[in-house]
Every structure is written in structure tokens, then in C-alpha cells.
Amino acid sequence: MAIVDSARGTRRTSHAAFRVLRVSGCCLLGLVLLMVLSAPDPMAAATAAPVPKAVLVLVDGVPADVIERVATPHLDAIADRGGYTPAQVGGAVGTATETPTVSAPGYMSLLTGTWANKHRVRGNYDLEPDYSYWSLFRLAKAVTPALQTGVFSTWTDNRTVLLGAGLAETGGLAIDHVADGFEQDSSRFPPLADDRHIQQIDRHVAAEAARVLSAHGPDLSWVYLQYTDDVGHALGDGPEFDAAVGVMDELVGQIWDAVQQRQHRNAEDWLVLVTTDHGRDVATGRDHGGQSPRERRIWMVTNSARLTDDFHGQATIVDIYPSIAAHLGIIIPQTVAAGLEGRSFIAPAGN
């Protein structure tokens, strides 16, 4: 089994063993030889490093105190492999980097590793991002053109505006696996009160992400689940919000299952990182956008076994970009690295 799934070099060893068996003409000797050569080769396993892959899951507007209180068994299962930490969004208050605790600015900080003074996204609409700060997807494609990417999202603007897929300003960034645009499909997902149809879309997005991750194993993916923010705006803190967090956890569990199955079948090293883009106001939980501690306090869950002390210290949303790059083994060109605001909390491979 290991031979079928392992690197090309090991498969060649298997074929060589078959040829040796035929040439020898001695059944017993040949059988022994085949058994020896067919066994997993520790040297091959040691030299053929598994292919690094990463999936970033962004769930919208879930404060750290909620994720720490509500039962989330699937997130717990991921954290058991790596860790959980509270973290920060919003830049440094009162400085140039201060960034609204609003969705698109948060996603953009995540995607570019910079704050709003650089990426220029300060709201959710009428955006004019500064694409000179390369997204993680653009970086990955530039460094390794063969690398495959995926975006699975309720909100099409995540791909077309924030990542700038297909635009001249991003060098015509291409995303290989896409599942989005469902919020514009009112015949398939007719609008419901309190945006409850968004939860149906999230279920579809998660299922599509799990299917594509399992079947194709793109090297870098972004999964975006929105409904938690909608229920927060509609109803604030309370049992409905907690229930939405529970559903979100189930959907993350589908993605985690797909990754685990994939890793079981293939010589791959998967990083799963789940985070949120902002907290919510302390009074009601309906709002966000300001710089209060609850709005700024986010969290991260990951299965990474290479977390550094920085993860459990003062991790911020802009640290995710260099961390995923570190997992993928991407050497960030100096022109891009010079603009980054964060630093990796994942140690380089081999450390």
C-alpha cells in the first residue's frame, strides 16, 4: 500500500523488484527479494518529504470568548494536533496601522499580511485595494506556477475584488478551483429572513470545499463561511449565535475529515488554519468595526505541529501570511517580504 501512494522513486523500486524476480527464475529467492524490496524503504521515506498543502478557513465575526465557551468538538480535534490561541486584529490603535474591525479589511489583512494603511481596504464595498501588496495566492503562484489553488466562498468579491483574480493589476491571478457566487443565485438559494439562506450556502460551500480538497488536493485553499456574522448582526449574542457557531464547527469538521482522508491516502503534509476576521461589540454582539477589546480579539486554531512560541504570544491576523508561506516552503522574495507586517508562527520544515 505504501508503495502505491509514495513518491515516484519508490514506485520505480517496486518495478525493478518485479523485473529482478522474473530474471532470477528462482521462486523462493525471488519471493524473498520481492518482500524485501516491496517493504517500505525507510531511506526513501526519510528523503521524500511529503508535499506541503494548506487550507485556510475563515469564519466570519466569531468573538474569542464565544469560541472559548461554545462546544466546538471539530475545532478541538484540530487544535489537539497543534494549538488554539486568542489573537488580535485591527492593527495598532492610534497608529497608521489601525484598521477597522470590519470584514473585508480583516480578510485583506489576512490575505496580504498588511494593515489597511497598505492594502487600502477600509470597508466592505466600493473597494480600491492596493494590489502592489501581493496576496498570498499571488505570491504562491509567482514562486511556484504549477501550484494549484482553490477559493470556496459565499461572497464572490473575496475572489474577484480582494484577491483581484483575473485583473491586470494582479498579473491576471488565476484560481484553479472555484466555488462561489451562490449569494447571487436567488433561484437556488432564495433569500430568507435574517439571511438564514446564507447558512444553506455555507453548507454547500463547505461540502464543495471538502469534495475538491479530497479529490484534487489543491496546494493552497481559502474557505470562507459567512453565516455567523449574519446571525450576529440580526440577533446579537445569544442561543441563535451559539447554535450558528455549532453548525460552523460541523462544517469545519467536514473539511478536516476531507484533509485527514487525503493525508491518509497521499504523501502530503496538510496545514489547516481556522480563524475569524473580527470580534463583536460587548454590549449586544450585533455590531463591530471599532477598536474595543472584544472587537479586536480574534482566535486561531491549527493542526500545525511546528508552532513557535509566537503563536501563543501576541499572534495577529497579519502573521498568518508568512506562517502559511513557511508551511508551504515558499521563500518570500524581498520585494514582497519588505511590505509584510507580521512574522511566521510556524517553524520552517526540518527545524
In the complex, the smallest distance separating the C-beta of residue 337 from Zn ion, rounded to whole angstroms, is 28
Minimal distance, residue 43 CB to Zn ion, in Å: 49
Would you state the cell numbers that stand for residue 346, as one nine-digit string?
510556524
Q: Could you say which residues in the range 267-286 bind Zn ion, by CB under 5 A?
A: 277
Total site size for Zn ion, rule CB under 5 A: 5
Bridge partners of residue 271, in order along the sequence: 54
- 41 within 8 A of 13, measured Cβ to Cβ: yes
Residue nearest to Zn ion (CB): 103
Q: How far is the CB of 232 from Zn ion (least distance, A)?
A: 9
Could you tell me if residue 238 is left (phi over 0), alpha (psi between -120 and 50 degrees) or otherwise beta? left
* Minimum distance from residue 219 beta carbon to Zn ion (Å): 26
Scanning 47-55, 101-109, 112-120, 214-222 for contacts with Zn ion by CB under 5 A, the matching segment is 101-109
Task: Select 107 or 270, whichever has its Cβ closest to Zn ion.
Answer: 107
CB of 75 to Zn ion, least distance (A): 18
Quick one: which segment of 97-105, 158-166, 207-215, 294-302 binds Zn ion (CB under 5 A)?
Answer: 97-105
Return the number of the residue (85 or 103) whose C-beta is nearest Zn ion. Answer: 103
Rama region for 168: left / alpha / beta (φ>0; ψ in -120 to 50; rest)? alpha
Map residues 283-322 to x or -, x wherever contact with Zn ion holds by CB under 5 A: ----------------------------------------
Binding range to Zn ion, per CB under 5 A, among 103-111, 153-161, 169-177, 216-224: 103-111
Based on CB atoms, which residue is closest to Zn ion, 61 or 90?
A: 61
CA distances from 331 to 55, 136, 172, 254 (A): 19, 12, 22, 31
Of 24-32, 57-65, 170-178, 265-273, the window that binds Zn ion (rule: CB under 5 A) is: 57-65
Residues between 219 and 238 that touch Zn ion (CB under 5 A): 229
Cell numbers at 121, concatenated: 481596504
User: Please, what is the minimum distance in Å from the beta carbon of residue 16 to Zn ion?
Assistant: 55
Q: Which of 10, 54, 61, 198: binder of Zn ion (CB under 5 A)?
A: 61
Shortest distance, CB of residue 107 to Zn ion, whole angstroms? Answer: 8
Among 60, 219, 237, 249, binds Zn ion (CB under 5 A): 60
103 lies in the binding site for Zn ion (CB under 5 A) = yes
Positions touching Zn ion (CB under 5 A) are 60-61, 103, 229, 277
